[in-house]
């Protein structure tokens, strides 16, 4: 087999590996979105249809089931799950606390409002996350596209809430606090996850949740303010997904271009240096010749 044939085989193998990884990533995102949307409707049916209004118990059972499934998949060697240690438990104590509070508050809000309005309210999480990122993490403001989309979807939530004839102050308060705790949870774990994937999938599943909620369980107020608010919220959500996706793509292209520029310039400098046509450069100024070993050093 010639060198070109080996190169082509290696390129095809790498392409297949990349395609396989992409399929796994998309499958995981779709599975996450499906489970998240389904949980909202199942919890709503459990608390309204079956009158089982115990959000803390529901959250604990869901967490126990999740831990059991993860440990089972780890035992079957289908996933790699790091072993629990006391140091890991301490480092993840605050995210776990905020996640538990987010779950309980979210379930409490869901039990006293319809699914569509719950989805609209939960899409205000980017506003709280953006504010906390600037105040706590000192990250600076995001792009103008992101700010415009967040303002649009938040304004839609306010308009839709104004048109909600079954407005429940306690439910909306719990929903707002749920957004706050979810934002704190996301800020604490954002270094371990893909912010782009989380934002895009989260936005899509929230929109599907709102659209399905319009036709299930009832309770939505059919008036102009509600429909205008939901429309603004959906439009802002779509624009938010587009802006985050564009930012992620541009950042990836910039990083790849920088890597190519560095590798090409370094290769050219070394070629000139080897030919003796380059005396000093940014890449070779710090290069030092390797001292030759004497006979005594070689014996040692």
Q: Which of the residue ranges 79-83, 177-181, 281-285 would you say has the lowest mean pLDDT?
A: 281-285
Instruction: Return the higher-pLDDT residue of 105 and 37.
Output: 105
If pLDDT is split at 50, 70 and 90, which confidence band does 244 have?
confident
Task: Report whether pLDDT(295) > 50.
Answer: no
Over residues 103-113, the pLDDT tens digits come to: 999 999 988 88
User: Closest Cα to residue 55, out of 105, 98, 97, 96?
Assistant: 105
Query: Which tokens belong to 161?
Result: 């809430």
**Percent of the chain topping pLDDT 90:** 8
Res 284: pLDDT = 44
Exposure on the CB side of residue 62, measured as CA atoms within 13 A: 17
| Residue 159, pLDDT score | 82
Tell me the torsion sign for CA atoms 191, 193, 199, 203: negative
Residue 298 forms part of a structural domain? no
Q: Provide the domain limits for residue 127.
A: 29-82+93-255
Instruction: Note whether residue 101 is domain-resident.
Output: yes
Does 189 fall in a domain?
Answer: yes
pLDDT of residue 65: 92
Q: Is the pLDDT of residue 257 over 70?
A: no
150 is a domain residue: yes
What is the structure's pLDDT at 120? 80
Q: What are the residues whose beta carbons fall under 8 Å from the beta carbon of 243, sequence distance 6 or more?
A: 143, 145, 146, 149
Confidence of residue 13 (pLDDT cuts 50, 70, 90): low
> 259 vs 182, which has greater pLDDT?
182
CB 81 within 8 A of CB 73: yes
Using an 8 Å Cβ cutoff, are 156 and 236 in contact?
Answer: yes
pLDDT of residue 101: 93
- Residue 186 inside a domain? The answer is yes
Give the pLDDT confidence score for residue 247 in this predicted structure. 73
Give how many domains the chain has, as a whole number.
1
Residue 275 lies in a domain: no
**pLDDT given at position 38:** 84
Tokens of 75: 């035992």
The yes-or-no verdict on residue 170 having pLDDT over 80 is yes
pLDDT in the model for residue 51: 85
Is 8 within the bounds of a domain? no
Looking at the chain, the whole-number percentage of residues with pLDDT higher than 70 is 65
Instruction: Look at 146-155, 195-204, 271-280 and tell me which has the smallest mean pLDDT.
Output: 271-280
Summarised one tens digit per residue, pLDDT across range 125-141 is 878 888 887 887 777 77
Residue 154 domain flag = yes
- Mention every residue, 6+ apart, whose C-beta is less than 8 A from residue 114: 166, 213, 217, 218, 219, 220
- Give dist(CA 203, CA 237) in Å, integer: 6
């Amino acid at each position: 087999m010639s060198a070109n044939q080996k190169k082509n085989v290696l390129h095809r193998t790498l392409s297949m590996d990349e395609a396989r990884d992409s399929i796994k990533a998309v499958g995981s995102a779709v599975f996450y979105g499906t489970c998240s949307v389904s949980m909202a409707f199942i919890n709503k049916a459990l608390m309204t249809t079956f009158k089982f209004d115990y959000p803390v118990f529901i959250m604990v059972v869901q967490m126990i089931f999740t831990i059991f499934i993860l440990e089972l998949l780890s035992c079957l060697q289908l996933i790699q799950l790091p072993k629990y240690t006391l140091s890991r438990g301490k480092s993840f104590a605050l995210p776990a606390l905020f996640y538990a509070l987010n779950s309980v508050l979210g379930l409490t809000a869901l039990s006293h409002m319809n699914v569509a309005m719950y989805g609209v309210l939960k899409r205000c999480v980017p506003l709280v996350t953006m504010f906390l990122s600037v105040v706590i993490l000192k990250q600076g403001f995001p792009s103008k596209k992101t700010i415009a989309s967040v303002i649009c979807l938040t304004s839609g939530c306010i308009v839709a809430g104004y048109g909600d004839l079954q407005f429940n102050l306690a439910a909306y308060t719990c929903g707002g606090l749920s957004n706050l705790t979810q934002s704190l949870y996301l800020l604490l774990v954002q270094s371990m996850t893909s912010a782009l994937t989380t934002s895009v999938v989260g936005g899509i599943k929230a929109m599907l949740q709102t659209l399905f909620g319009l036709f299930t369980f009832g309770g939505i107020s059919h008036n102009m303010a509600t429909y205008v608010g939901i429309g603004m919220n959906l439009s802002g959500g779509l624009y938010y997904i587009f802006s985050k996706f564009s930012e992620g793509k541009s950042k990836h292209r910039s990083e790849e271009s920088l890597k190519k520029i560095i590798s090409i310039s370094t290769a050219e400098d070394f070629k000139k240096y080897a030919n003796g046509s380059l005396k000093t450069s940014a890449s070779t100024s710090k290069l030092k010749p390797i001292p030759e070993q004497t006979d005594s050093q070689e014996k040692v």
